[in-house]
Amino acid sequence: MIQNYNSKKLYERLPIYVHFLNSIQESNISSTTISKSLNLGEVQVRKDLALVSGKGRPKIGYSTKNLFKAIKKYMGMNHASKAIIVGFGKLGKALYDYAGFSELGIDIVQAFDISNTTDFVKDIKELDSYCLENEILFGILTVPSTEAQATAEKLIRCGIVGIWNFTSVRLNVPSHVVIQNENLAASLSVLVKSTLDKKVGNDYEKSNETNDSYTSKKH
Amino acid sequence: MIQNYNSKKLYERLPIYVHFLNSIQESNISSTTISKSLNLGEVQVRKDLALVSGKGRPKIGYSTKNLFKAIKKYMGMNHASKAIIVGFGKLGKALYDYAGFSELGIDIVQAFDISNTTDFVKDIKELDSYCLENEILFGILTVPSTEAQATAEKLIRCGIVGIWNFTSVRLNVPSHVVIQNENLAASLSVLVKSTLDKKVGNDYEKSNETNDSYTSKKH
DNA sequence: GGTATATCGATAGAGTTATATCGATATACT
DNA sequence: AGTATATCGATATAACTCTATCGATATACC
Ligand SMILES: NC(=O)c1ccc[n+]([C@@H]2O[C@H](COP(=O)([O-])OP(=O)(O)OC[C@H]3O[C@@H](n4cnc5c(N)ncnc54)[C@H](O)[C@@H]3O)[C@@H](O)[C@H]2O)c1
Ligand SMILES: NC(=O)c1ccc[n+]([C@@H]2O[C@H](COP(=O)([O-])OP(=O)(O)OC[C@H]3O[C@@H](n4cnc5c(N)ncnc54)[C@H](O)[C@@H]3O)[C@@H](O)[C@H]2O)c1
């Protein structure tokens, strides 16, 4: 594949830029400044921006507004994507209440549970009708792991094609469905192991550095 | 570097194996079976296991018990790592109550907050004395983003060298400290974008597949 | 207007991670 | 005991991702 670079890692960084651009006042911004503010590689930022946006100007940088729009367009953040949460427990509640997703064009429009139903938490039985009526594409799975596979299948039957999976189960789904596993336990383990590596292997700098887990890179 | 393959991705998979091994009854298990159960590449699993464990036997596989022990040893999961949570809000509470971390040798031993103090949530003012007394190495950062940098610095002053960062801030920390960013918003964006890509680019199979975000791999 | 330079874009290369392939071997089965 | 084969381990290759470098250029400043 020639120069058609479209990667998961890129997709993770673009929202970070969006959040950053949202937070600044300047009407122009350079890739250099962005890279320093976010602890990312300078070349990497430039490459990312070049891919999604129009030209930048030497000595000036990019128009903040245009850059912002370009990234949002590229990521499909303009038309708000509607998502539902299934499993309104501790984690589901935290995610449901979090305001930061809307900045990225994602609205969590409804929560479902098998028992904790309230005004704004519907019974899981209503899943079908709700999803079909509202054309929901995304589901956030925060049910107990024992219920994970069965619940995922329910979601898929309702037309959901993207599942954010917080359970520890590796779901089995048809090929048209996208799964994003959010394995928090694994993630914490990575931190622990990386930290221990660093503490032990202080002989010379370990070559383990990656953009997201380590700090003080020499950009 | 020759064959000293020690990657972040590997560190993410090993806990998945641990969880799986914990859940099965069989006293022997083959890499083939593991790979099918977890939707991972067969060769990849074999390579992972070869790196951390003793030999497997043709037609039999590995001893479940030995494999389990080997991975835990490799990952440093034997001596329990103690972590604290700072910011006992919705997310902090969910993490604090989650039982699944102990399987991976991690104990969340204490929570701190600036206001919601209770019997088991200490005031942030006690952070110093607690961390030093108890030799805490890991901190989970779930304070509001406005407090993130300042709080991270507090943690570091208390001897913490690994921070699991749930805030949207890209922390600036000294080089001996490891940061694991858990950017949930970015992760959700990846799901949305990947799903949209797939829906649109159905001309021929997109070459975007990765082990963690997509399903129905042809292993 | 002329010069210095911050920033850009492009290319090449290095590093990391995953997959395909194949011969070796211990085990199951006849 | 002899044969078929599931599974292993190793090597080679492919795919993906990041970084270093450098010439081009629009802008700032004299
Ligand atoms: N809390 C964490 O920090 C954490 C960390 C990692 C993974 N997880 C995983 O996330 C999931 C949720 O965790 P949690 O802490 O919020 O658990 P929880 O028990 O607080 O919440 C689970 C919710 O799902 C509901 N539920 C049960 N069966 C259901 C069904 N069939 N349909 C719809 N709803 C149903 C329950 O009523 C409950 O409200 C679990 O799978 C857990 O393993 C949680
Ligand atoms: N909830 C989510 O789903 C979600 C998703 C992505 C990111 N985040 C991030 O995670 C963090 C926590 O989110 P939340 O939803 O739990 O928020 P929250 O408001 O429920 O919890 C924050 C807690 O931090 C405490 N706090 C405030 N200042 C403090 C300080 N200086 N020291 C110690 N404690 C302090 C508050 O009292 C509160 O209990 C935020 O930075 C948020 O942006 C949350």
pLDDT at A28 over 90: yes
DSSP notation for chain A: --S----HHHHHHHHHHHHHHHH---SEE-HHHHHHHHT--HHHHHHHHHHHS---BTTTBEEHHHHHHHHHHHTT-SSPEEEEEE--SHHHHHHHH--TTGGGTEEEEEEEESS---SSEEEGGGHHHHHHHHT--EEEE-S-GGGHHHHHHHHHHTT--EEEE-SS------TT-EEEE--HHHHHHHHHHHHHHHHH--SS--S---TTT------
What average pLDDT is seen over chain A? Answer: 90
% pLDDT > 70, chain B: 89
pLDDT band at B41; cut points 50, 70, 90:
very high
Tell me if chain A has a CB within 8 Å of the CB of B171: yes
Tell me if chain B has a CB within 8 Å of the CB of A51: no
**Mean pLDDT confidence for A89-95:** 98
Which residues in chain B have Cβ-Cβ distances shorter than 8 Å to A178?
Answer: 191, 194-195, 198, 213-215
The C-alpha angle B15, B91, A119, rounded to 5 degrees, equals 120
- What is the pLDDT at residue A126? 97
pLDDT at B12 over 60: yes
The sign of the CA dihedral A199, A205, A208, A212 is positive
One-letter amino acid for residue B102 of the chain: S
Q: Do B215 and A177 touch (CB under 8 A)?
A: yes
CA distance B62 to B173: 42
Smallest Cβ distance to B101: which of A162, A182, A185? A185
Class of domain B7-74: mainly alpha
Which residues in chain B have Cβ-Cβ distances shorter than 8 Å to A94?
Answer: 89-91, 93-94
pLDDT band at A1; cut points 50, 70, 90:
very low
- What is the pLDDT at residue B215? 35
Span A81-182: which CATH code? Answer: 3.40.50.720
Residue nearest to atom 3 of ligand 2 (CA): A95
- What is the pLDDT at residue A206? 35
pLDDT band at A203; cut points 50, 70, 90:
very low
Strands B178-181, B162-165: pairing is: parallel
- A11 contact to strand D (CB, 7 A limit): no
- What is the pLDDT at residue A55? 87
pLDDT band at B205; cut points 50, 70, 90:
very low
pLDDT at B214 over 60: no
Q: Do A170 and B16 touch (CB under 8 A)?
A: yes
pLDDT at B210 over 70: no
One-letter amino acid for residue A77 of the chain: M
Reported as a single tens digit per residue, the pLDDT across B102-130 is 999 999 999 999 998 999 999 999 999 99
User: What is the phi/psi pair of residue A72, to 5°?
Assistant: -60, -40
pLDDT band at A5; cut points 50, 70, 90:
low
Tell me if chain A has a CB within 8 Å of the CB of B80: no
**Mean pLDDT confidence for A46-75:** 94
What does pTM read for this prediction? 0.93
- Give the count of Cβ contacts less than 8 A between chain A and B: 233
pLDDT at A219 over 50: no
Query: Which of the nucleotides in strand C have any atom less than 7 Å away from a protein CB atom?
Result: 5-11, 15-21, 24-28
**Mean pLDDT confidence for A21-33:** 96
